[in-house]
Homo-oligomer: A and B are copies of this chain.
Amino acid sequence: MNDRDYMKRALELARQGRGYTSPNPLVGSVIVKNGRIIGEGYHRRYGDKHAEVMAIENASESVEGATLYCNLEPCCHTIPEKKTPPCSLRLIREKIKRLVVATKDPNPYVNGNGIQMLRRHGIEVEVGLLAEEAAELNAPYFKYIQTGRPFVHLKIAQSLDGRIATSNGHSQWITNQSARRLVHLWRATYDAVLVGINTVLKDDPSLTVREVAGRNPYRVVLDERLQIPNTARLLTDGLQERTLIFTTLPPDHPRVLESQKQEIQVLSVGADEHGWIRLSEVLERLANLKIASVLVEGGSQVFTSFIQERLFDKISVFLAPMIIGAGINSVQEIGTEQLTDALKLRRVHIEVIDQQALVEGFLDERIIFEKALEKI
């Protein structure tokens, strides 16, 4: 095994924390001495030990003189709300000889300071191995820690000709089970899943994680006029304490008061000029709840608003090899007059999942990748 293999293993460990570490990052760590792994760890859950410390404490022998692999720069700061002491100090104390990290931590409190501190203490530090993969893994954290706003990922499942449903609204199932499994994995990873009220009225979705093992996300509904029926699955399936309804009705509106009496979590926000919920305000409110990542699952109006306002970070389009013809378009008017106005995705990635094409890209990946991949 070489450096690359050990980093791959660290990333594999990091992924095991998926869904439980937010708003902290996913971090895995491997300690190698005399060509053999002597300790492994990952950040299991927000508030728990960091990966590096867990790897040190799990080590089968002294880590003095060893190499530590970690997908993220070790922390080096102490601030009141921080739950654990700085890992950098621990690495120095344990006399780790060499550190290999994939990316810098763009957290303004860290941002290269951890690496500098370790170097000043004579630890050999290499940065950048499997950096792209590591940055993709922690994209939500990188966005949130630098902007204070959640990472927004639009997930669209459509026919080849860009329809998410027939004219009659039939949409189950455009995608196949392999695509659905992947979406459930995302649900288990993201802090919240968001849909519009039309999707609730039409499909009565549960938005839970069923096709894979994992925890359920918050479920957020954009519901201007508070039309969600009391009988909706999102309000009756026993997980309703994780359901948040945003409305433009004022807090003292009788329907809002009535819902709150029934312990439905309703949040009043402002409306934009079309009367739609103001998305920037929704994202701010979610950030205040420490929701650092949101998976947007539809419908057309919701996708269109996030795209038109450029309030998303990443988009993933599953394309089923079928043609619907006239039906509901995945995206409506976003103000494109010339082709040069069209929204061009960046860092495009295309893969084939069981006869479906998955096309993904970023709106503006700089906030995710620029600082994290900076040379140091």
- Which A residues lie at the B interface, using CB under 8 A? 158-163, 165-168, 170-174, 304, 307-308, 315, 317, 319, 321-327, 329-339, 341-345, 348, 350, 352, 355-357, 359, 361
Most buried by B among A159, A308, A357: A357
Indicate if the CB atoms of A339 and B171 lie closer than 8 Å.
yes
Question: Contacts A166-B342, A355-B348, A357-B359: A161 and B321 contacting too (C-beta < 8 A)?
Answer: no
Distance of A325 Cα from B305 Cα, bound (Å): 11
Chain B proximity of A330: nearest CB distance (Å): 5
Distance of A153 Cα from B311 Cα, bound (Å): 39
Distance of A344 Cα from B160 Cα, bound (Å): 10
Among residues of B, the one whose C-beta sits closest to the C-beta of A353 is B350
Distance of A308 Cα from B325 Cα, bound (Å): 9
Indicate if the CB atoms of B319 and A161 lie closer than 8 Å.
no
Chain B proximity of A230: nearest CB distance (Å): 29
Number of this chain's copies in the complex: 2
Task: List residues of chain B with CB within 8 A of the CB of A345.
Answer: 160, 321-323
Chain B proximity of A76: nearest CB distance (Å): 39
Chain B proximity of A358: nearest CB distance (Å): 9
Distance of A315 Cα from B329 Cα, bound (Å): 20
Task: List residues of chain B with CB within 8 A of the CB of A308.
Answer: 325
Distance of A252 Cα from B280 Cα, bound (Å): 65
With beta carbons under 8 angstroms apart, the residue of B160, B167, B317, B334 that contacts A337 is: B167
Indicate if the CB atoms of A159 and B342 lie closer than 8 Å.
yes
Question: Contacts A163-B162, A319-B357, A331-B161: A324 and B342 contacting too (C-beta < 8 A)?
Answer: yes
With beta carbons under 8 angstroms apart, the residue of B165, B317, B322, B335 that contacts A344 is: B322
Indicate if the CB atoms of A334 and B323 lie closer than 8 Å.
yes
